[in-house]
Amino acid sequence: MNDRAQSGNNLDPWFHHYAERAAGLRASEVRALFAVASRPEVVSLAGGMPFVSALPRDLIQGAMDDVMRTEGPVALQYGSGQGVPKLREQILEVMALEGIRANADDVVVTTGSQHALELVSKLFLDPGDIVISEGPSYVTAMVIFRSYQADIDHVPMDEHGLIPEALREHIARLKAAGRTIKFLYTIPSFHNPAGVTLSWERRVEILQIARDNDILVLEDNPYGLLYFDQPAPDAMRSVEEDGVIYLGTFSKTLAPGFRTGWALAPHAIREKLVLANEAAVLSPSSFSQLVISKYLETADWKGQIDTFRGVYRERKEAMLSALGEYLPELTWTNPNGGFYVWLTLPEPLDSKAMLPRAVKELVAYTPGTAFYGDGGGHQNIRLSFCYPTPEQIRLGIRRLSNVLRGELELLDTFAGTGSLTSVRNSTRFSLPPTDLN
Ligand SMILES: Cc1ncc(COP(=O)(O)O)c(C=O)c1O
């Protein structure tokens, strides 16, 4: 028994038996609300589900039939722990779109990039180690880091992504405190949840900082190809081969149901990753890999990515125009790709406290607190535009504006703070910095 494992449920007869690392695996406080939020009358701006209805299902069906007909016994069998060689070659073509030149020997296919995050954490993290990440950061990566009992140190961003100067300061402070920094976890393109993109100059500078300080970079890039106007700058891995583990996935450019992603690792690490992959799953799904490989070979997969880009661009525009109309007093990021807008609330409002009211008003969002390991984010909301239609998005934002006004009226009753506009203009409740807008 140990203290960290105490945060469980006393009705569980095995409560005192869990390993310490299990203490990091806690259901989020907003999970119960999300069960309610999945009802059809609720507009959910909360999840990150790709709009798979835009996929050519007949082509995917054709690829599946083909695989079963021509390679059935292989598709139904265990495979290599590193992944199907042909798919690993095709993955090189996908990564080449973001400037990466690599060898298929260094690609390890995983069960989604989520599993690659797990494997990298398993290889590198000891209890008490530090993972540096952007603040905010991807919630389920942080769940993994914490489950390996690492501490997360958040470095702030602005509209150009992670701030190099702040990174330098954080590294110096952590080193002075005798902490061990294992890696920098970063989502440079169309960040989840912040929606911002790391500029090219900063990519190069941050890689140099990592090199100078002997810190591995874990570049997580699920959204890079889903840009709206301008492509994102080339991947960080295109600059630096030895110090970067790059993670990619077919979840957003094809479908998450295949649960297929990959890690491109420096040669030395690759060996250990394959062993970790084998220990965890023996081999990633042969069936999924072969179907994806066939799809890449026979379908216009780049054209399909263009289709997705068009769908998401339209939805982002619907969201920003609804925000401009219904909540002009607030600030938000304007993503040039990906799935998410990051909204900043005026100070007396608390996104987590407000969520029950929102669900009652039939709109759901993810409170910013989910994306910080240190209790931050109360003034932020992540809004997803990937799944709901433009009409639903508009309706959702209109409902959200009612929620905010209702909440402010309540606060007003107790504190006399007034309307949204007067909150913005008051000196007592000044707006937070708009650096992410
Ligand atoms: C930043 C980031 N990393 C990793 C993942 C996991 O993706 P998958 O395991 O489906 O490849 C997601 C999913 O939303 C994500 O947003």
Predicted confidence (pLDDT) per residue in 416-429, tens digit: 655 565 544 433 33
Q: What is the pLDDT of residues 240-282, one digit of tens each?
A: 999 999 999 999 999 999 999 999 999 999 999 999 999 999 9
The answer to whether domain 19-48+304-413 has CATH 3.90.1150.10 is: yes
Q: What is the pLDDT of residues 32-71, one digit of tens each?
A: 667 777 788 999 999 899 999 999 999 999 999 999 999 9
Residue of 84 and 422 predicted with greater confidence: 84
Enter the pTM of the model: 0.92
With contact defined as beta carbons under 8 Å apart, do 202 and 285 qualify? no
Q: What is the pLDDT of residues 145-172, one digit of tens each?
A: 999 999 999 999 999 999 999 999 999 9
Residues of the chain with CATH 3.40.640.10: 64-298
Per-residue pLDDT band for 381 (boundaries 50, 70, 90) equals very high
In the prediction, which pLDDT does 124 show?
Answer: 98
In the prediction, which pLDDT does 433 show?
Answer: 37
Per-residue pLDDT band for 330 (boundaries 50, 70, 90) equals very high
How many angstroms is it from 206 CA to the middle of ligand 1?
Answer: 22
In the prediction, which pLDDT does 47 show?
Answer: 87
Please tell me the residue having the least CA distance from ligand 1 atom 5. 114
In the prediction, which pLDDT does 427 show?
Answer: 33
Q: Which CATH class is domain 64-298?
A: alpha beta
Residue of 251, 281, 312, 382 to mutate, ligand 1, most atoms within 8 A of C-beta: 251
Residues of the chain with CATH 3.90.1150.10: 19-48+304-413
How many angstroms is it from 114 CA to the middle of ligand 1?
Answer: 6
Q: Does the structure show a pLDDT above 50 at 118? A: yes
Please tell me the residue having the least CA distance from ligand 1 atom 16. 192
